[in-house]
Amino acid sequence: DAGVIQSPRHEVTEMGQEVTLRCKPISGHDYLFWYRQTMMRGLELLIYFNNNVPIDDSGMPEDRFSAKMPNASFSTLKIQPSEPRDSAVYFCASSRYKLEQYFGPGTRLTVT
Amino acid sequence: QKEVEQNSGPLSVPEGAIASLNCTYSDRGSQSFFWYRQYSGKSPELIMFIYSNGDKEDGRFTAQLNKASQYVSLLIRDSQPSDSATYLCAVNNAGNSGGSNYKLTFGKGTLLTVNP
C-alpha cells in the first residue's frame, strides 16, 4: 500500500507569495493531520480532520494559514501571504485507528 | 500547557549496548503514549505505542510506562548503528477506546548515536 503522499517535496518562495501544500492520505484512513516542524519548536500540530471535517484548528498560527479537505483522498494547506518565519518542514499524517498516525515525507518550505 | 519533555542528547552508546530513552509528561490525564523514530531529513516513523502501565516488548524494543510517575521510556537492546536517529515521544489523553481528542503532543526528541 502506498503511504501518505505529499507534494511538493521542496518549495522555495518569496515573502508575500501564496504557498499551497498538498497531501493524499493512506486509503481508508479517516483522520488527517497537518504538522509543522522546526528546530526551535519541534513538531507542532496545526489542524486535524475527521471524515473531511476540520475538528481542531487551534494550532493554526494565524489567519494567513488555511486548510481544506474537499474529499477523503486530498487535503491542502495554504499560506497566504507567506513570511520568512513560515520556513519549516510541513508534514501530513493520517490515521485509521485514531491515534496511531503515519507520516508523509514532508514538504520543506523556504520563504526568502 | 501540556508538556512532553525529553533530554535532547546526544545519547551515545556502543554497538550492542542497551540504549535507554526517557520522556516525562505533565498531563495526568494522558492515556496513550507513542515512540517515533526520525532519521535526519526524513519523516517520523511510528515504532511503538503503549496504553497500559508496565512493559510492552516488540523485537529489540521495549516501551515502559509508569503513569504514577508520569514517565515513559524506550529501551533498545543490542543497539545497532542503524538505530542512530532522533526518537520522539508523543502523548495523548483521549485513550485508545474513544474520546474526542486525537491530538498528539510531541517532545522535541532525543538524538541517539550508536557507535560501531
Of the candidates A85, A91, A79, A104, which has an alpha carbon nearest to the alpha carbon of residue A20?
Answer: A79
Of A15-29, A48-62, A90-104, B84-98, least confident by mean pLDDT is B84-98
Name A58's Cβ contacts closer than 8 Å, sequence gap at least 6. none
What is the mean pLDDT of the segment spanning B70-93?
Answer: 95
A102 inside 8 A of chain B by CB = yes
Give pLDDT, residue A61.
Answer: 87
Give pLDDT, residue B31.
Answer: 85
**DSSP-derived 3-state class of residue A86:** helix
- Report CB contact under 8 Å: A99, B102: yes
Edge-to-edge strands, sheet with A5-7: A5-7, A19-24, A74-79, A65-71
Of A12-21, A24-33, A97-106, B11-20, least confident by mean pLDDT is A97-106
**Chain B residues in contact with A50 (beta carbon < 8 A):** 102
Give pLDDT, residue A34.
Answer: 97
Provide the residue type at B88 as one letter: L
Cα Rg of chain B (Å, integer)? 14
Give pLDDT, residue B44.
Answer: 97
Give pLDDT, residue B112.
Answer: 97
Of A60-69, A80-89, B1-10, B17-26, least confident by mean pLDDT is B1-10
Query: How many angstroms separate the CA of residue B108 from the nearest CA in chain A?
Result: 5
Count the Cβ atoms, other than its own, within 10 Å of residue A9: 10
**Chain A residues in contact with B107 (beta carbon < 8 A):** 42
Give pLDDT, residue B97.
Answer: 46
- CA A66/CA B97 separation, integer angstroms: 30
Is residue B22 pLDDT above 50, yes or no? yes
Q: Which three cell numbers stand for residue A54?
A: 476540520
What is the mean pLDDT of the segment spanning A68-90?
Answer: 97
Q: Which residues pair with A98 in a beta bridge?
A: none
Share of chain B above pLDDT 90, in %: 74
Is residue B1 pLDDT above 80, yes or no? no
